[in-house]
């Protein structure tokens, strides 16, 4: 299987002076945590990182520093969807796993569990802990809802086809893209505790605390 790491975002909500994928967590750049978790996993043959085009060399130098080999850096796009689309062009295997550099706490054991599952779209979820309201004026039943996580696994042909149909749209998550474009509902698999995405300034502090206590 191929692996894509999304690391081409601006990280604007973290309010750092640089993209969050470069912030240090436990002494390592954030995106290196995702490389480490995917690297050497049986069944993953190639890792493709969608990078910020003008920072490609910085990514490559860091990867060299950590002695990672055979990692392909491809130019990400303006949107997350475009970053996935660009990286997908390098995917030739039957399945692809998509991870975000902003999620450092996925374990190798959990990756192996996901990889062992069958299905065209495999999506981790966590229980919806907050009540939710639709801005158009109605309530949604929390018990019917779950939150979607990464990493996600797709049949590569299915994901490529869905992305071709979705060109010009702006999906921020691939399982929704696959469902809307092809009607394929994912297999939902319970995520692991602590698999949160670093998005806001407070998340950085939480990530540091979790890392120190792991």
Q: Residue numbers of the site for ligand CTP (CB under 6 A)?
A: 6-13, 21, 50, 76-80, 83, 100-102, 197, 199
Cβ closer to Mg ion: 3 or 7? 7
3-class DSSP state of 124:
strand
Residue 163 partner contact from ligand CTP, Mg ion, none using kind-dependent CB cut-offs of 5 to 8 Å: none
Q: What angle do CA 145, 209, 124 make, to 5 degrees?
A: 25
86 binds, among ligand CTP, Mg ion, none (CB under 5 to 8 A by kind): none
Q: CB-wise, 80 or 95, nearer to ligand CTP? A: 80
Q: What DSSP string describes 132-195?
A: EEETTTEEE-GGG-EEE-S-EEEEHHHHHHHHHHHTTS--SSHHHHHHHHH-PPPEEEE--TT-
Which of residues 9 and 104 has its CB atom nearest to Mg ion in the complex? 9
Nearest to 6 by CA among 88, 63, 124: 88
What residue is closest to ligand CTP based on CB? 9
| Shortest CB 80 distance to ligand CTP, Å | 4
Residue 198, both tokens: 């670093």
Nearer to ligand CTP, 9 or 186 (CB): 9
């Amino acid at each position: 299987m191929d692996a894509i790491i999304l690391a081409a975002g601006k990280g604007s909500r973290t309010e750092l002076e640089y993209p969050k994928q470069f912030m240090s967590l436990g002494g390592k750049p954030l995106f290196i945590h995702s490389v480490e978790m995917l690297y050497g996993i049986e069944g993953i043959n190639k890792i493709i990182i969608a990078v910020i085009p003008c920072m490609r060399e910085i990514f490559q130098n860091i990867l060299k520093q950590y002695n990672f080999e055979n990692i392909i850096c491809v130019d990400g796009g303006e949107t997350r969807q475009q970053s996935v689309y660009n990286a997908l062009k390098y995917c030739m295997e039957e399945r692809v796993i998509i991870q975000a550099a902003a999620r450092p706490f996925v374990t190798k054991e959990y990756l192996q569990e996901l990889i062992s599952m069958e299905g065209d779209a495999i999506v981790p979820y966590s229980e919806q802990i907050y009540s939710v309201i639709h801005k158009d004026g109605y309530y949604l039943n929390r018990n019917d809802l779950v939150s979607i996580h990464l990493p996600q696994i797709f049949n590569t042909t299915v994901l490529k086809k869905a992305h071709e149909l979705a060109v010009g749209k702006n999906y921020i998550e691939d399982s929704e893209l696959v469902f809307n474009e092809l009607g394929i509902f994912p297999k939902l698999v319970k995520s692991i505790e602590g698999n949160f995405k670093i998005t806001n300034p407070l998340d950085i502090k939480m990530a540091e605390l979790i890392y120190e206590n792991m």
